[in-house]
A and B are shown apart, each in its own frame.
Chain A
Amino acid sequence: MSVLVYTESEQGKFKKAAFEVASYAKEVANQLGTTVTAVAINADNTAELGNYGVDKVLHVSADSLKDFNAKAYASTLHQAVEKENAKVVIISSSADSKTIAPILAVNLKAGYASNVVAAPTSTSPFTVKRTAFTNKAFNMTEINSDVKIVGVSNNAFGLVENSGDAAAEDFSPNLDDSLFGVKVDSVDKVTGKVTIADAEVVVSAGRGLKGPENWGMIEELADVLGAATACSKPVSDLGWRPHGEHVGQTGKPVASNLYIAIGISGAIQHLAGINASKVKVVINTDPEAPFFKAADYGVVGDAFEVVPQLIEKLKEFKANNA
C-alpha cells in the first residue's frame, strides 16, 4: 500500500527532481498513513533518498536499461507497483518521466494528473492542483481511478528533508524483448551545463540583444550565477541560439527561483511559459515593455550597459559572501 516514487538518475547520480518527488511522495504517504518506496534504475547511492523520507528502495541494475526506453521503464514501474500493491505513483516532470507516465497509466488503468504544483488538498476524493492554460490558470483535478499517478512540476513543491531508512532491495523486472521497439542510437548533450529544467536561476535574452555575437555577456552572467541560458522564440527562429533554449508557450516551460529577462518585450506567449518562476527581473530600454507588468524587479536601461555592471557587482557580491 506504500506510495511509489520514481527517482530518476543520470549516470548513476540522482537528479534534483528525484529528491523533490521523493519529498512529495513522503507528504502523500503522511496523508495516507503509509510508507514511501522508491524505484531507482542504475543509480549508485540509493541511501541518499533516505534524506527525503524514502523508507525502501527497489534498486534495479540492468544493462538493458542503460539507455532510456519508455516502455521498458514503464514496465519496470508497473511491476514495482504490483509488487508493492501501491495505489499512488509519484513521478517528476522531466522529459523522460513525462514520456513514461502515460504508458504506465495505460498499463495500470490509472488516472494521471500532470504538472501538479502542490500536495493533494484531499485524498478522498484524491484532489490535486495543477497548472493549465500554460500557467495562465490552475485547475483542481480529482483522480478517480483505483491507482493514481501524480506528475509533479519541477521546483513547485521543493525539497523537504526527512529521515527514512532507504532500505535497498534488489529488484529485477521481467523485460520482454517486445518492449524495446525504440533503440537509442546517440545522445547529444552538453555535459557540465545546467539545464533549463533543473536550473534554479535562468538568464534569458531576446531580440533586444541585436545579434548572436552579443551572447558572450549573457553566458558570462549565467556563469556567475550558475544559471542556465534561455531565449525568446524569435531568437531561436532566427538561428541566433539553439531551439533547445527557446522558452515560452511553444518552447520549454521555466519554473526557476529567479528568471532574468534581458531585451525581451514580454509577449503573452513568452510570459505564459515562464510565469511559474518565483522571482522575475526585467532589463529593457523601453519602460512600456509589457514585461514590467509581470516582473518583480526591473531596470529601465540598455542591456549593453546594465549587464556588464550586473556581472561586476555579482562577482563582488560572490567574493564578499564566499
Chain B
Amino acid sequence: MKILVCISHVPDTTSKINFTEGDTKFDTNGVQFVINPNDEFGLTRAMWFKEKQGASVDVVNVGGAETEPTLRKALAIGADGAIRVNAAATDGFFVAKQLAEVVKNGGYDLVIAGRESIDYNGGMVPGMLAELTNANFVNNCISLEIDGTNATAMREIDGGKETSSTSLPLVIAGQKGLVEESDLRIPNMRGIMMARKKPLNVVEPVDASAETTAVKFEKPAPKGAVKLVDADNIDELVNLLHNEAKVI
C-alpha cells in the first residue's frame, strides 16, 4: 500500500498571532512552526500501517523552502520520502489541485490529511482532493482499518460517531482519536540522522488558480475586565447572567 500524508506547516499552538504589511500578512517573526496537530495524528496512523501491515509512506507539503524543516521532522518520525510542491499555499482549492497532481503521479492508494490546519482553518483540502482524484472520502476520521483494498472508518458526527465501509483509493481527514495521544512520536537522534539521507523532492506547481483571496486580517476587539462574583453570593451570578448578560 502506498500512503501519502499531507503535512501542513503551522504556527505552534502557543504562538502570538500578529499581522504585518497593513494587516495583510501573518507575522512569522519569532514564531515556531510545527506539523499541524491533525496531520500528526494521521502521520502516526500511517506509521502504524507501515510497521504492522507493510506500506510505504510519503509526506507532502505545498509551500516555500521555509517548510522543509517540518517535512524533515516528518521524515525523522519515520516517513520514507518527502515531496514539496514549490508554491505559496494561496487558498485551499489551489493546494488541493497541487496535491491531486502529486497523488496522480505517485499512484497513492491512501491519502491521509488533517481535518483542518490550525492556521487558516479552511477544512476543505481533504474533501477537494478526494473529489479531484475520484477517491472515496471520510472526514473527521477517528478510526481507520485497512484490509486489502477494503477499509472501515469511523468519523465523528455532531453528537456521536458513524462507522462506514469503503475501499481504496481513499482520502481521510484525520483528527484527535485516530491514534492515542500517547502514540505520538518525538523524533529521536537516529531518526533525525536518517532523515537527512531520505529524499526530499521539490516539484514545481501545475498551473492552477486560487478561487479565494485573503485580503485582510484583524484581531478580536480587546475584552473588558472580568466581573468577579463572591463565592458566597451565587444569587448575584444568576442575576447577572439573567439581567445583564441575558443568556439565561
Docked-complex contact A186 and B163, CB < 8 angstroms: yes
Kindly state the separation between the CA atoms of A282 and B225 in the bound complex, as whole angstroms. 13
Given contacts A250-B176, A305-B231, contact A197 B166 (CB under 8 A): no
- Chain B residues lying within 8 Å of A272, measured Cβ to Cβ, are 13
- Chain B residues lying within 8 Å of A141, measured Cβ to Cβ, are 212-215
Docked-complex contact A237 and B181, CB < 8 angstroms: yes
Docked-complex contact A183 and B164, CB < 8 angstroms: yes
Q: Which of B72-115 contact A (CB under 8 A)?
A: 91-93, 96
A32 interfacial by beta-carbon distance below 8 Å: no
Docked-complex contact B128 and A190, CB < 8 angstroms: no
Docked-complex contact B214 and A140, CB < 8 angstroms: yes
Chain-A contact segment, one of B49-57, B61-69, B132-140: B132-140
Q: Using CB atoms, name the residue of chain B closest to A295.
A: B226
Kindly state the separation between the CA atoms of A153 and B89 in the bound complex, as whole angstroms. 23
Given contacts A70-B137, A111-B93, contact A298 B228 (CB under 8 A): yes
| Binary interface encoding of chain A residues 96-111 relative to chain B, with 1 for a CB under 8 A from any of its CBs, else 0 | 1011011101110111
A322 interfacial by beta-carbon distance below 8 Å: no
Pick from B17, B158, B231: contact of A299, CB under 8 Å:
B231
B235 interfacial by beta-carbon distance below 8 Å: yes
Chain-B contact segment, one of A127-135, A168-176, A206-214: A127-135
Pick from B158, B165, B219: contact of A137, CB under 8 Å:
B219
Kindly state the separation between the CA atoms of A274 and B217 in the bound complex, as whole angstroms. 20
Docked-complex contact A133 and B212, CB < 8 angstroms: no
B198 interfacial by beta-carbon distance below 8 Å: no
Kindly state the separation between the CA atoms of A195 and B161 in the bound complex, as whole angstroms. 12
B91, B124, B127, B158 pick with most chain A CB within 10 angstroms? B158
Query: B94 → chain A, closest Cβ, in Å?
Result: 10
| Binary interface encoding of chain B residues 132-176 relative to chain A, with 1 for a CB under 8 A from any of its CBs, else 0 | 100011111010000000001101111111111111000000011
- Chain A residues lying within 8 Å of B177, measured Cβ to Cβ, are 243
Docked-complex contact A134 and B118, CB < 8 angstroms: yes
Pick from A103, A188, A198: contact of B131, CB under 8 Å:
A103
The interface size of chain B toward A, counting residues with CB under 8 Å, comes to: 80
Interface of chain B, helix or strand or loop or mixed?
mixed
Docked-complex contact A114 and B131, CB < 8 angstroms: no
Docked-complex contact A143 and B211, CB < 8 angstroms: yes
B197 interfacial by beta-carbon distance below 8 Å: no
Given contacts A95-B156, A258-B248, contact A138 B131 (CB under 8 A): no
| Binary interface encoding of chain A residues 182-197 relative to chain B, with 1 for a CB under 8 A from any of its CBs, else 0 | 1111111110010111
B14 interfacial by beta-carbon distance below 8 Å: yes
A159 interfacial by beta-carbon distance below 8 Å: no
B210, B227, B248 pick with most chain A CB within 10 angstroms? B248
Interface of chain A, helix or strand or loop or mixed?
mixed
Docked-complex contact A105 and B124, CB < 8 angstroms: yes
A94 interfacial by beta-carbon distance below 8 Å: yes
Given contacts A95-B156, A258-B247, A279-B245, contact A183 B118 (CB under 8 A): no
Docked-complex contact B212 and A250, CB < 8 angstroms: no
Q: Using CB atoms, name the residue of chain B closest to A312.
A: B234
- Known contacts A137-B19, A249-B118; can you find 9 more A-B pairs with CB under 8 A? A103-B131, A111-B210, A138-B219, A181-B136, A185-B164, A243-B156, A279-B241, A297-B226, A302-B231
A sample of 29 inter-chain contacts (CB < 8 A) reads: A70-B137, A70-B139, A71-B137, A101-B127, A102-B131, A105-B211, A106-B93, A112-B93, A115-B121, A131-B121, A133-B120, A134-B121, A137-B220, A138-B219, A139-B214, A144-B210, A144-B211, A144-B212, A181-B167, A183-B165, A183-B166, A188-B162, A225-B248, A244-B159, A272-B13, A300-B231, A310-B234, A314-B238, A317-B238
Closest 10 CB pairs of A and B: A102-B127, A111-B211, A189-B160, A301-B231, A195-B159, A106-B131, A102-B124, A258-B247, A99-B139, A181-B136
